[in-house]
Amino acid sequence: MSYRERETKLTLDIAKDTLVYMFRKMVEIRLFEEKVFDLYAQNLVPGTIHLYAGEEAIAVGVCSNLRKDDYITSTHRGHGHCIAKGADLKRTMAEIVGKKTGYCKGKGGSMHIADFSIGMLGATAVVGAGIPIAVGAGLSIALRKTDQVVACFFGEGASNQGTFHEGINMAAIWQLPVIFVCENNLYAMGTRQSRVMLIENIADRVVAYGIPGVVVDGNDVLAVYEATKKAVERARRGGGPTLIECKTYRHKGHSRVDPARYRPKEEVEEWLAKDPIKRFKERLLQEAVLTAEEIKKIEADVAGEIEEAVRFAMESPYPTPEEALEDVYA
């Protein structure tokens, strides 16, 4: 069976710089997503959006263990992954509103952001499709004999796709340096996990493929950080893949049209009380890593950066229509 990580205690084993960095990144994601939601409400975001708010501890806890040359793959709910891997807020926001200055020159949008220069191999909007692609990046690392690793993000719904089973089995037999990060937010669109699988832990599934499956509190950034640290260390020294299942909850509905009425009110309240940013902030204060003033300053700085990103996105031009014909072939 998979195993559950013990409750982590905040220790000074993690450098203060890292703690502060993680807090700041989580705030960046939260405020970014709040802003995207506002812009959407003002009809400034074409198409749809899938917000990462509530799941920040996962992307940040994972990516804080990665180097710039490590890879990640992402999903339709991918803004948080981009930001945690170090993507530029301006170009991310510009892509979401369909501008030429966006990461994908307006061709991808919210569901398809990539920044190959920082190892962000892009978000695929087909559930589970990123899993074999991440395995391929892992194979590429093995063949090139570097010590890079890949973190592959997906939701619990993706674990019902064949690509999950095919991909993880391949990573297992070839002992590839891939960390599979399952963001279990309990719902695949409106379908509760218990309606489509009889098991509670996705991590149990990978034990069948002979690799470690770990369950952590996905709303505790330190728990995610510690579990990823071990998995990354093992992967870098050739010890093969790990799956880390992070139990979490999305604050908003599945996409912009979804009021999420299928979630019981008590359940939503219970999870909102476990807000990963609120919890981390409390611990940072308790342990005197940051003062209330320092936290306020970080939040204000980030808010300013996001305003700057919005300004950049709004002032940027749309692509010219004929650009639709470019980039089909290399």
Least CB distance from residue 150 to other proteins, whole Å? 8
Least CB distance from residue 133 to other proteins, whole Å? 4
Burial of 88 (0-12, 13-18, 19+ CB in 10 A): middle
Residues that bind other proteins in the complex, under the rule CB under 8 A: 71, 73, 102-108, 112, 114-116, 121-122, 124, 126, 129, 131-144, 162-163, 166-167, 169-170, 173, 326-330
Which lies closer to other proteins via its Cβ, residue 131 or residue 224?
A: 131
Which lies closer to other proteins via its Cβ, residue 61 or residue 119?
A: 119
Which lies closer to other proteins via its Cβ, residue 82 or residue 221?
A: 82
Which lies closer to other proteins via its Cβ, residue 112 or residue 279?
A: 112
Least CB distance from residue 53 to other proteins, whole Å? 24
Which lies closer to other proteins via its Cβ, residue 65 or residue 163?
A: 163
Burial of 195 (0-12, 13-18, 19+ CB in 10 A): exposed
Task: Report the 10 Å Cβ neighbour count for 267.
Answer: 12
Which lies closer to other proteins via its Cβ, residue 137 or residue 295?
A: 137
Least CB distance from residue 78 to other proteins, whole Å? 12
Which lies closer to other proteins via its Cβ, residue 302 or residue 309?
A: 309
Q: What is the CA radius of gyration of the chain?
A: 19
The span from the CA of 286 to the CA of 288, in Å, is: 5
Q: Are 211 and 234 contacting, i.e. CB atoms less than 8 angstroms apart?
A: no
Least CB distance from residue 91 to other proteins, whole Å? 10
CA atoms within 13 A on the CB side of 287: 17
The residues pairing with 183 across neighbouring beta strands, listed in sequence order, are 155, 246
Least CB distance from residue 272 to other proteins, whole Å? 34
Residues 6+ apart with CB under 8 A from 38: none
Burial of 37 (0-12, 13-18, 19+ CB in 10 A): middle
Least CB distance from residue 280 to other proteins, whole Å? 32
Give buried/exposed letters for 278-307 (b at 16+ CB in 10 A, else e): ebbbebbeeeebbeeeebeebbeebeebbe
What does the longest C-alpha to C-alpha distance in the chain come to? 56
